[in-house]
Each structure stands twice: as C-alpha cells, then as structure tokens.
Chains A and B, each alone.
Chain A
Amino acid sequence: MWKFFHKLASPPHFYRLAPRFVLGFGVVGCVLIGWGTYAGLFLAPPDYQQKDAFRIIYVHVPAAYLSMMAYSIMAISAGIGLIWRMKLAHSVAAAAAPLGAWFTFSALVTGAIWGRPMWGTWWEWGDPRVMSELLMLFLYIGYIALRVAIDEIGKADKASAVLALVGAVNIPIIHYSVEWWTSVHQGQTVVGGKMAPEMLQPLLLNILGFTLLFGAMLLYRVRTEVLHRERRSRWVKAEVLQTVGAP
C-alpha cells in the first residue's frame, strides 16, 4: 500500500498513470451528468413552492459544492507542500485553483439566475452566503495572480500556499453562513435530507458526475504542472520527444 503511494508521488509514475484515471473519470462523469440533468429537468416533479424554477438546483448545488471542495483540496495540498516540502502537493494546489475559480463563477452566476425570479433580485449585497462565495472567487484570483507574478517556482509555491491557507477560514464561513445569519439564502438541503427522493436522486447523480469530471480535470492539470516543474529532467525530455516527435 505504502509502496503504491510512494510510487504515485514520484512524478514520472504519476505522469504515466494519470491518463487512465482522467479518461475513466471523464467518461463516467459525463454519463452521470447527462443522466442526472435529464432526470432533473424532465422527470423530477415541480416544487410545491418554486414550481419549475427550483430545477436550477441541479447545476447550482454541484457548482457551489465543487467551488468549496476545490478550495479545500487547494488549501490542504498547500499545507502539505509547505510542511513536508512535497512538490507534488504544490502541483495539486496550483492545478486546483483555476478549476475552483471556474466553479465559483458558475455557482455565482447560476445563483443569480435563480435569485431573480425567486428572491426578487439578481444580486443581494447583504447576503452572507453570496458575499462569502464572492470573497472566495477573489481568493482564487489572488492565488492565481500571485503564482503568475512570481517567476521562481519555489517562492511562488510558498507565497501562494500561505495565501491559500489564510483564505481557508472562509470555507467554514461559507458553509455556516446560512445558519449564523438570518438572510435570504435558504439553508442546507442535501445534508439535512429535506428533499423528496425523486427530486434528490438526480441532484446526487449530478453532484457525483460533476465531482468525477472535476477529478479528471484536476489530474490532467496536475500532469501539466508536473511536466512544467520537471522540464529539465531526462524523463520529461523522453516523454516530449515521444509525443511531439523527434526534431
């Protein structure tokens, strides 16, 4: 078991092993999303209160969940990289950031589209859930900008890891914002189990599907990061020659 993980943490092994998982996760993820979205939009009954408008939940909740998931992965990997000086961990953190930023953007936009007909506003500046999610988008952008700004990769790793860890306090704030403050965003649905089963099942399919797709993209991006960091090593040269073709 340990041997397997040690091997996985070695860049060339990871590089050669990852494509299989990328393909598997990607294909299964797409199938689940197709199934979940179809069931959510056409098979699930309309809500007693929100009628058909509630169907936005089938893309909003997976995006919001993954935006936080990606940040947690980023912060934990950054912490591991900082403490144990593990390079692959820094690669994971760097790879998670742009994906997390995209899902955060998606959650904010789909939330705005849901808020317009239901709450009565596109955007509520006073809502803590909306505000803490927006703050997370800025944290992601700051993290990415910091990495771009610092040329030396070791320094970029350290500085961005500190930022990721500082920003991690925002995660529990996002999660509990709907309980701590009275505002317009509704409470937790999935964990509390307060959704009719025929409506919940497509949502779970979509959450799983989007998570797998996220996993595939994350592994793919970690591969690119590894390639960049090891660009002077012999195995990368051999790998590139094989793919691009001998000059």
Chain B
Amino acid sequence: MKPRQQRMLAVGLAAAGIVIAVALTLRAFEENMMFYVEISEIAAGNAPQDRDFRVGGLVVDGSVRRVPGELQVMFTLSDLDSELDVSYDGILPDLFREGQGIIAHGRMNSAGAFVADEVLAKHDENYMPPEVADTLAKHAAAKKAAMQQEKDSEAKDGQ
C-alpha cells in the first residue's frame, strides 16, 4: 500500500469511527435532553410522571382563558388528533395567539393537566405579505364552501 493510500484509509477509518460515536451520542441526547412527548401519547395515558418534558401543538381557537389581573393563562393544545389542557404563569411571546403553533416545557399535575414553566412560539418557515396570506385564506375558505356545496347537491341528487 502506498503511503498516500494508507493516509486515506486512516482518515476514512477515523471518520467512520467518529460518525458511529456521534450517532450513539445523539440517540442518548434525543432520549434525555430533548424529551418531547406527543399530545396523543399523553391522551393515551402514556404521559411521563414526575419529570419535565416538552409538548408541541396548536393553540385551540377560543380556548385561551386568562385570570383577570394576573399573568395566569389557561389554554388547550391540539395536535389535530388529541387535546391537552395547559396552564402557564408567565409572559407569553408576541406570536402567541389562537391557532399558533407553540412548544411548552413543564410537567403533568395530579389533575391530568400540563403545567408549563416556559411557553415558546414556533413560527413556520413560510414568509409572505399579509395580503397574500389573506387571499390564501379566502381561497381555502371558498374551496371548502364549494366542496361543501357539491356534497350537499350530491346528497340532494341521491334523494
């Protein structure tokens, strides 16, 4: 083997070893530090007890209730499958509102609700002017209405 090929092999082997080591570290990292639980998991009764974890979901429309004169806020999170009641005592990010995706950090209380000590807003990677967003929303609504109409007329035809 030529010296250059030897060096190449050494670099390659070292790189492979590192990749394996990092992959293993990442798995451990994923299971512990990044402890993230799906809402449907919690609904199924698999919520971790006595430890902090993260949940993520959309704030359900009309679910936000505030205690007058206090920072205390209660809302419901949904992952479009199951729901979870969350209570939080602190300052909410500017982006927090109904329909917004958020990440909450905290733990379950004995009543089966999630008590958050941190609420972060998660905005998506789409950027567009407000007019475009409005138009998109209108189109979506119109499409939905048209589909509904079609269904209705189909149902009538069937009768």
Where the two chains meet, the residues of A that have a C-beta atom closer than 8 Å to any C-beta of B are: 45-50, 53-54, 57, 79, 82-84, 117-121, 124, 126, 128, 162, 165-166, 168-169, 173, 181-184, 186-189, 192, 194-196, 198-200
Contacts and interface: CB of A to CB of B under 8 A. Distances in A.
B73 to A, nearest CB: 13
18 contacts: A57-B127, A117-B94, A118-B121, A118-B123, A119-B93, A120-B91, A120-B92, A120-B94, A126-B34, A126-B105, A166-B14, A169-B18, A182-B103, A183-B34, A184-B120, A189-B126, A194-B125, A194-B126
A48 B34 contact: no
B59 interface: no
A121 B125 CA distance: 18
Contact of B126 (A45, A82, A195): A195
B22 A182 contact: no
A45 B121 contact: no
Given A48-B130, A57-B127, A126-B54, A166 B95 contact: no
A45 B4 CA distance: 56
Interface string B1-28: 0001001100100110011001000100
Contact of B127 (A82, A83, A173, A196): A196
B15 A196 contact: no
Interface size class of B (residues with CB under 8 A): 35 or more
Given A50-B95, A199-B127, A119 B122 contact: yes
B126 A128 contact: no
B125 A119 contact: no
B51 to A, nearest CB: 14
Contacts of A45: 129-131
Contact of B56 (A47, A182, A188): A182
A169 B19 contact: yes
Given A79-B11, A126-B34, A192 B128 contact: no
A165 B119 contact: no
Given A50-B95, A83-B4, A183 B103 contact: yes
A181 B27 CA distance: 11
B132 to A, nearest CB: 6
B102 to A, nearest CB: 9
Interface of B: 4, 7-8, 11, 14-15, 18-19, 22, 26, 30, 33-34, 36, 54, 56, 91-96, 103, 105, 118-134
B127 A120 contact: no
A169 B129 contact: no
A182 B53 CA distance: 12
Contacts of B119: 120
B125 A192 contact: yes
Contact of A48 (B19, B56, B105, B133): B133
A182 B30 CA distance: 10
B129 A198 contact: yes
A223 to B, nearest CB: 28
B129 A48 contact: yes
A128 B129 CA distance: 29
B129 A46 contact: yes
Contacts of A186: 122-125
Which 6 residue pairs spanning A and B have beta carbons closest together?
Answer: A120-B93, A48-B133, A45-B129, A187-B125, A48-B130, A186-B125
A181 B93 CA distance: 22
Nearest to B128: A196
A196 B132 CA distance: 9
B129 A83 contact: no
Given A124-B120, A195-B126, A48 B30 contact: no
